[in-house]
Amino acid sequence: MNSFETFSQLHQHATPLLLGNIWDVNSARIFEANDYKAIGTSSQAVAKSLGYEDGEKLPFETLLQLAKRVVEVVRIPFSVDLEGGYSRTIDGIIENIEQLHDAGVVGINLEDTVAGSPRQLQPVTEFAKTLSAVAEHISRNNLNLFLNIRTDGFLLGMPTALSETLTRIQHYKNAGADGIFVPCITNRNDIKEVVKATLLPINVMCMPGLPDFEELASLGVKRISMGPFLFDKVYENAGKLSKAINADKNFSSILA
């Protein structure tokens, strides 16, 4: 079984796939060493680690080089958050996806919003057209890529987030999505409704109020992401330790 087949099957188990969200090669190694079955980039964490804002401000070439290096040193399946595709054209998105596939990436996240101030939700038919073209290209060229589609009604705090999400799931399924990612959904009943709406595996993300993993499994969730939260906690702790070194005038805080 190759890495893509392994990754796809991890979305079909009764126990959800817990995805380790990385920001560099060393974080990828840490997740692998701690028995995670698959990893994926957090776009926000990668951008922040290199001094960029989230929202495709990180150069695509930098993301591609990171992907190549991760694949070289880590054996578990690896997925990349491509945000809105790093292009506003279908051809450009497909070109970026091909480069990531050639680097050894086995999964892609693609979202239905365009980053900006504010973040804009694309019209469902317009995004579905893009998705269909991407999925057809993947199928026609036998690319081993799991296409995880992020829909952002809950992330944007829309009052109609649930109904908007349910509508979009059907369009994205018909357009060729392999999975659906609904960041910022936390309510148990909402999660249940989303899972019931499709046979595609549903992906949720770390958020305050998110049910624990056992309950998410009982609700039918198939993939759980941590987003940038671990990255943020790591650097919060680094900030506390660096402050302690300066205050204590010794290194006891990092040698204990």
Q: What is the CA radius of gyration of the chain?
A: 18
CB 203 within 8 A of CB 184: no
- Distance, in Å, from the CA atom of 250 to the CA atom of 73, rounded to the nearest integer, reads 36
Long-range CB pairs of 102-106 (<8 Å, 24+ gap) are: 103/64, 103/67, 103/68, 103/71, 104/3, 104/67, 104/68, 104/71, 104/78, 105/67, 105/71, 105/78, 105/79, 105/80, 105/145, 106/3, 106/4, 106/7, 106/77, 106/78, 106/79, 106/144, 106/145, 106/146
Q: Where does 93-136 show beta strands of DSSP type E?
A: 107-111, 113-114, 120-121
Taking only the tens of pLDDT, the chain with its 256 residues reads: 899 999 999 999 999 999 999 999 999 999 999 999 999 999 999 999 999 999 999 999 999 999 999 999 999 999 999 999 999 999 999 999 999 999 999 999 999 999 988 899 999 999 999 999 999 999 999 999 999 999 999 999 999 999 999 999 999 999 999 999 999 999 999 999 999 999 999 999 999 999 999 999 999 999 999 999 999 999 999 999 999 999 999 999 999 8
- Distance, in Å, from the CA atom of 164 to the CA atom of 79, rounded to the nearest integer, reads 26
What does the DSSP 8-state code read for residue 183?
T
CB 206 within 8 A of CB 227: yes
Residue 126: CB atoms within 10 A of its CB come to 10
pLDDT at 116: 86
Global pTM?
A: 0.96
177 three-state secondary structure:
coil
> For domain 3-229, which CATH number applies: 2.160.10.10, 3.20.20.60, 3.30.930.10, 3.20.20.140?
3.20.20.60
The H or E element that residue 91 is part of is helix 90-103
Classify burial at 39, counting beta carbons within 10 Å of its beta carbon; exposed 0-12, middle 13-18, buried 19 or more: buried
Closest by Cα among 117, 126, 120, 115 to 168:
126
Domain boundaries, the chain: 3-229
Token couple for 135:
């999925």
For 224-256, give the secondary structure using H, E and C.
Answer: EECCCHHHHHHHHHHHHHHHHHHHHCCCHHHHC
Closest by Cα among 82, 83, 153 to 115:
83
